[in-house]
Structure 1
Amino acid sequence: MRTLRKYAGPLSDRRFRLLWAGQGVSTAGDAAMLVALSLALVSSTGSASALGFVLAATAVPRLLLTLVGGVWADRLPRQKVMLAADAVNLVAQVGIGVELLGTVDVGLVAVYAAASGAAAAFFVPASGAIVPSTVAPEHLARANALVALTRQIAMVAGPALATALVVTIGAPWVFFLNAGTFAVSAVTLALLRVPAVAAVRTGFWDELRQGWREFSGRRWFWTNATAHICWNLGRSAYQVLGPLVAVRQLGGELSWGLIAQGAAIGAVGGAVVALHVRPRRPLVVANLALALGAVPLVLLAVAAAPVVIALAAGVMHAGLSVMQVIWQTTVQNHVPEHALSRVLAYDWLGSLALAPLGLALAGPLADRIGLPATLAGAAVLLAGGCLLVLAVPEVRRIGSRPHQDLPTAEE
């Protein structure tokens, strides 16, 4: 019981319980919605292009508005920004559900999807910055780990739940249920009371520049953000070329299903491990964990046995889960609270902006130089970025204790 209380420490705070419960419910709904949207659009229109159009409509506003969302999440009470985003998402999910009840207007579905993507651009920077306001400092790392664990469980269970719901009650009702999860999240946020963060309004563009200075003035931050971009570009080859290797050389679709399942189990396991990990040099451990993602790329390059690649994919995603918790906690501990949403928005923007480029280039590059060479190159890029960043002294020195930041470039 003592061990249980130790790891459930953040849940002793009503503020975190409200945040965690609301986010857990809405995350589960989102995970189910993505699969339901794919099944509904492909079956109703018979066109993969329609699905691609709607997914792009979701992604583009999120990409364009992430920095805007970061500024406003630092300007206003963050729970109110999140509540407003939930309200927009609730309307968007109901709209898509209603549209799927009859003849589908793909353009209108894309409009609702765009509204959902825009809401995420405001929600994500605010949600990443609000957690420190809901727990005591000593519980922050475990709070982030609990959020990550809930998210990973939802990502594993969501697709199966969505498929079952689409088959039994129909795709529209998945969206109505998802709208209900946003209502639950909005209620928990409305009940949440957190200390106000002092915000000095100097004008939107000036505040955006201040966020950039906070981001670029911390070498440990922007070098790690660059390593994360390299990691995402490397993983793009895994996502695009992995299924191709499985179908051509490893026995077919079932092999890729096995690999994907290994990745999902590893992600959950990594989030569990993150509940226990308290490294003295957090960014060293985080980058070493992230570098493990090169292993399944190498194994795909040599067409290893599917079960071996599945185990490696599990390690890859376990390392990712551990890194995400350590990184989130480190950033929350060492970036001033009044600028936290903007700094997180710049971090998110780098990953969001270049990940589609990696997805677009992986196939043509493999056609030109071959699958093994492309996968091996992606492994070098992925691991190289994580390991090279360890040469930065601030990355090695920064500790896990809060409010002891390293000097910025301006200092």
Structure 2
Amino acid sequence: MTGPLADPRFRRLLAGQSLSSFGDTALYLMLGIWAKELTNSNSAAGGVFLALGLPALFGPLTGHLADRVRRRPLLIGTNAAAGVVVLSLLAVHGRGQLWIIYAVAFAYGLASGILSSAGAGLRKSLLGPEQTASANAMLQTVSQGLRIVAPLVGTGMFVAFGGGSVAILDSVTFAAAIVALLTIRLDEPRGHAVPAGSPGSSGSFFADVTAGFRHIRSVRLLFQITVVTACGFTVIGLTETAIFAVVDQGLHRSPAFFGVLNSTQGAASVLGGIAVSFMLKRLGEARVVGLALAGFSVASLLYTSHSVVLCLIGSVGDGLGLVWLVVGLSTAAQVHTPSFLQGRVNAAWSMVVLTPQTCSIAAGAWLIAVVDYRVLLLAIVVVMAVCAATLLLKPAAAPAPAPESERQAPGIAAPSRL
């Protein structure tokens, strides 16, 4: 084996993340379907994704946490807590317990932020910056590839046995992630050295928490990618609600057909993940993210049709865009960020990008009741096309990779993600 797979620890990490991603995908897609069936409301279904996105507002705090404690124990504890919380869905029996679905979705989003901030640095500690792009591509390819099967399994179990069965499945996959982490041996000190004068070296709590934002601002490539993506995401959240109207009003299918669209998206993500490492080497992170935004634009345009075939092709555009966006953003952040800032930088760009998305989800949940869903989709087409053109035509140059310090400073640690 070559590349990241040559390290048996990464192979175990990949296996654990893959199982966990399978459970996650089966569950959170089912949550939207569950809310739709309980209320027959597209707004209620979109509210699930709003609850998933709201924890991004706490990104600076979760990133700071990931940079202050050891990564592996934090990942294990967060996976354990999420595995327990998800079982509360067993108490949902009717519309009166809809709030439990929202509460679980919020907790899920919070756990995801911690795991994301803690995981990026763990992979970098395992593999080094030279293997970052390949490792991110493999993780995303497998994770998104599972979306071919996971939505169908989740919706199938929901229809046959109810939402509680999917909650139990997801809880078991959290346990699989914990087992994988327990088998990884890593000499992990309490933290990484913080060079004098660098972001996060002042000792002030506020300065430490916001160090990730300052680092992004200081690296032109990271700043451009983050800001342009955030501008695009001011409308992308409209899709989370509009897609239910696409399935219902446009295609005249049941909410379960949402799982078919997501399975198609997962298949496309596998193809996109296979190519993304090569694309990053030839095009650079900015242009890869630009192509991702272009994929979202094309997908939204196709969703305005009443054709099942065109909507499935739109899901292909979404799948390619998703894997290219995540790998492009995460690789740029990891490669051009020192270890002691990994958690905060990951959390910072997540907050800057996901907060506009969360606001647009909230707007979509309200607008879907008063505006034709195709108008919302056309707004996405236009904004995403402009943002894509910005990155494709005038990408910022990549700086030299951030140097890694060999010394460690007590009380400060880096991030990771499982």
| TM-score, structure 2 normalization | 0.78
State the distance in 1 between where 2:226 and 2:174 align. Answer: 30
Matched, 1:293 2:296: yes
User: Quick one: which amino acid aligns to residue 328 of structure 2?
Assistant: I
Deviations along 1:297-324, one digit per CA (max 9) or x if unpaired, are 34455x4854245324413421331232
Moved more, 69-78 or 147-156: 147-156
Moved more, 10-19 or 353-362: 353-362
Deviations 1:68-106 (A, max 9, x none): 110111111222221121121122123333x25899755
> Which structure's CA Rg is the greater one?
1
Over 3 Å counting, the alpha-carbon distance change for 1:213 and 1:125 in structure 2 is same
Supply the distance in 1 between the matched residues of 2:282 and 2:49 (Cα, whole angstroms): 41
For residue 326 of structure 1, report the CA deviation from its aligned partner: 2.8
Provide the residue aligned with 2:183 in structure 1.
191
Relative distance call for 1:23 and 1:312 in structure 2 (3 A) is same
Give the partner amino acid of 1:224.
I
- 1:228-251 CA-to-partner distances (Å, cap 9, x unmatched) read 123323433444445546665x55
Cross-structure match for 2:87 = 94
Residue aligning to 1:119 = 111
Q: CA RMSD in A?
A: 3.7
Q: 1:234 to 1:39 in 2, by over 3 A?
A: closer
Task: Verify: 1:152 aligned to 2:144, yes or no.
Answer: yes
Structure 2 matches for 1:6-405, cutoff 5 A? 6=2, 9-38=3-32, 58-60=52-54, 62-97=55-90, 99-100=91-92, 105=97, 113-194=105-186, 195-196=188-189, 197-200=191-194, 202-241=203-242, 244=245, 252-253=252-253, 262-290=264-292, 291-300=294-303, 303=305, 305-362=307-364, 375-390=377-392, 395-398=395-398, 402-403=401-402
**C-alpha spacing 1:404/1:327, structure 2 compared with 1 (3 Å):** farther
SS at match of 1:253: coil
* Contact 1:145-1:275 at 8 Å conserved across structures: yes
CA distance, structure 2, for counterparts of residue 119 and residue 182 of structure 1? 11
* Equivalent-residue separation in structure 1 for 2:53 and 2:370 (angstroms): 28
Indicate the residue corresponding to 1:408 in structure 2: none
Give me the whole-angstrom Cα distance separating, in 2, the residues matched to 1:54 and 1:294.
Answer: 23
Q: Deviation digits for residues 96-121 of structure 1, max 9, x if unmatched?
A: 33x25899755566555544443223
1:293 alignment partner AA = F
Query: 1:349-406: per-residue Cα shift (whole Å, max 9, x none)?
Result: 12321113323445877898876665444322112112224565xx44217x74479x
Classify 1:140/1:158 alpha carbon distance in 2 versus 1 (closer, same or farther; 3 Å).
same
Please tell me whether the aligned partners of residues 211 and 339 of structure 1 are also in contact (alpha carbons under 8 angstroms): yes
CA distance in 2, matches of 1:211, 1:251: 43
| Pairwise CA distance, 1:141 | 1.7
Instruction: Please say if residues 334 and 342 of structure 2, whose CA atoms lie closer than 8 Å, have aligned partners that are also in contact.
Output: yes
**TM-aligned CA distance change 1:228 to 1:365, over 3 Å:** same
Please give the alpha-carbon distance, in whole angstroms, between the structure 2 residues aligned to 1:298 and 1:355: 19
Alpha-carbon distance in 1 for matches of 2:93, 2:246: 38
Please give the alpha-carbon distance, in whole angstroms, between the structure 2 residues aligned to 1:313 and 1:40.
Answer: 21
Q: Is the 8 A contact 1:16 1:134 kept in 2?
A: yes
Distance 1:150 1:264, change over 3 A: closer
TM (normalized to structure 1)?
0.80
Q: Give the AA of the match of 1:269.
A: L
Helix, strand or coil at the partner of 2:210: helix
Q: Which has the higher contact order (CA 8 A, sep 6+)?
A: 2
Contact 1:146 1:275 survives alignment (8 Å): no
Give the drift of 1:224: 0.9
Whole-Å separation in 2 of the counterparts to 1:167 and 1:363:
25
For the 8 Å contact 1:141–1:329, the answer to whether it is kept is yes
- CA distance in 1 between partners of 2:159 and 2:372 (Å): 40
Q: Distance in 1 between matches of 2:314 and 2:99?
A: 41
Bigger mean CA offset, 346-355 vs 311-320: 311-320
Fraction of identical pairs, as percent: 23
| 8 Å contact kept, 2:297–2:381 | yes
Q: CA distance change for structure 1 residues 388 and 403 in 2, over 3 Å: closer, same or farther?
A: same
Unaligned runs of 5+ in 2: 195-200, 405-418
The Cα of 1:42 is off from its aligned counterpart by 6.4
SS of 1:120 mapped into structure 2: helix
SS of the aligned residue for 1:279 comes to helix
Which whole-Å CA distance do the structure 2 matches of 1:366 and 1:24 have between them?
34
* Cα 1:322/1:118, change in 2 over 3 Å: closer
Q: 1:210 to 1:267 in 2, by over 3 A?
A: same
Q: Which one has the bigger helix percentage? A: 1
The whole-number CA distance in structure 2 between the counterparts of 1:245 and 1:33 is 21
Size of the aligned set, in residue pairs, is 391
The separation in 2 between residues aligned to 1:36 and 1:368, in whole angstroms, is 26
Q: Deviations over 1:113-157 (max 9, x none)?
A: 544443223222112332212225443222111110121123332
